[in-house]
Amino acid sequence: MNSKLSSTPSPVDVYVGSRIRLRRTLLGMSQERLGTALGLTFQQVQKYERGANRVGASRLYDLARVLDVPIAFFFDGMPDEAATPQAPSVPVASFAEARGAFGGVPAPAQPEAGEDRFASNELALLSRRETIDLVRSYYRISDPAVRRRVLDLVRSMATTA
């Protein structure tokens, strides 16, 4: 799918942008600071985070380096529907032939046993400033026993609500 022909961003671009925003926010980094580290304006960072602009391979590499994450971080937990290829606007018979020559389409990777995949609404919840503040505050508690009691307290409150 050619993004220049479509007025709506690709679901993959939107997802990658949300992961950029999540990591930047977790680090307490402003869009301006990230932009400066990448040699961009904060407006360009905003466009990447909204998925309005596609992130190229070299830029994704730079983002991974600056945000201190592996490149795979930007795709972790991506919903299957976002990764599903869109119908091409032009025939690609040669692609189908090439794909067949290499053994067809590989089976999609299945999550490991016990591995959860975040739904987009869960990712949005994790991106909220309130959630990030709660997590940061929690990990500032130096005593592991106190941290455990706080976790138990929050869990008990959540089950009664």
134 in the same domain as 123:
no
- CA–CA distance from 26 to each of 23, 54, 128, 134, 153 (Å)? 5, 22, 10, 11, 24
Confirm whether pTM is higher than 0.85.
Answer: no
- In angstroms, rounded to a whole number, what is the distance separating the alpha carbons of residues 21 and 142? 28
Domain that holds residue 142: 129-160
Q: Which DSSP helix (H) or strand (E) runs through 16?
A: helix 11-26
3-12, 44-53, 109-118: which has the minimum mean pLDDT?
Answer: 109-118
CB 47 within 8 A of CB 53: yes
**Any domain includes 92:** no
- Number of compact structural domains in the chain: 2
Q: For residues 61-78, give the mean pLDDT.
A: 92
141 in the same domain as 74:
no
60 in the same domain as 43:
yes
